[in-house]
Amino acid sequence: MQDWIDNLFQEPKLLRMGHSQRLDDLNLGLGWLYYGLVRIARPETIVVIGSWRGFCPLVLAKGIKDNLETGKVIFIDPSLVDDFWTNQQKVKEHFNSFGIDNIEHFLLTTQEFVKTEAYSNLKKVDLLFIDGYHSKEQAKFDYEAFEQLVPPQGFILFHDSIGPKLSKKYGKDNTYTYTVYQFMDELKQNKNLQVLDFAFGSGVTLVRKILTE
């Protein structure tokens, strides 16, 4: 695993975006949580919404491979920050350069993805990682698009979820403040859910359904 992380961090941009990664000790930071959940729960289907350079889809896909089981990461990102995800051949090469071939990328917003056959064909989403546009409204849309497909033993994670932060990712004319945490406050009122914040890096929130039987 350390060799894999060493190779991953050869791309300095994979050390950014608030997952508490650190090069010195080849430390995935919050990535250990993402990877660990995959090793524990052995998900077959993971959906990731949004990523700047693929840190989450890569770490989650690596977990599936290390489980020695089949499974895949469906990665939804319309490449609205820059053109990084627009060329499908380059996207494939990017993931392959880290030994990862089990990520299927859709160059779509969640709003567009829910109208596809790929969405209609989804029977179950064992792990859902939400890291797209960080407004309360979009986080809610992303959650509601997939929540019913997540089984009781599944997990839902929201990144950038623990407080407000000014973002200029979409250009200085499209500055906005993260409000995902406000949606977390709503989920925390739901007695059928367990909701736990991890206040490291930009923060991540783990949600699971409470088993009723």
**Residue numbers of the site for ligand SAM (CB under 6 A)?**
17-18, 49-52, 55-56, 76-81, 109-111, 131-133, 138, 159-160, 169
Three-class DSSP labels, 14-28: HHCCCCCCECCCCEC
DSSP string over 70-112: --EEEEE----SSSTTS-HHHHHHHHHTTT---EEEE-S-HHH
Contact in structure between 150 and 137 (CB atoms under 8 Å): no
Closer Cβ to ligand SAM, 21 or 45, answer by number = 21
Closer Cβ to ligand SAM, 9 or 133, answer by number = 133
Instruction: Output the smallest distance, CB 141 to ligand SAM, in A.
Output: 8
Contact in structure between 53 and 17 (CB atoms under 8 Å): yes
Closer Cβ to ligand SAM, 80 or 149, answer by number = 80
Instruction: Output the smallest distance, CB 213 to ligand SAM, in A.
Output: 34
Q: How far apart are CA 154 and CA 150, in angstroms?
A: 6
Instruction: Output the smallest distance, CB 211 to ligand SAM, in A.
Output: 30
Task: Say whether 30 sits in a helix, a strand or coil.
Answer: helix
Closer Cβ to ligand SAM, 4 or 85, answer by number = 85
Closer Cβ to ligand SAM, 135 or 209, answer by number = 135
Instruction: Output the smallest distance, CB 93 to ligand SAM, in A.
Output: 18
What is the number of the residue whose Cβ is closest to ligand SAM? 50
Instruction: Output the smallest distance, CB 153 to ligand SAM, in A.
Output: 25
Long-range contacts of 188-196 (CB under 8 A, 24+ apart): none
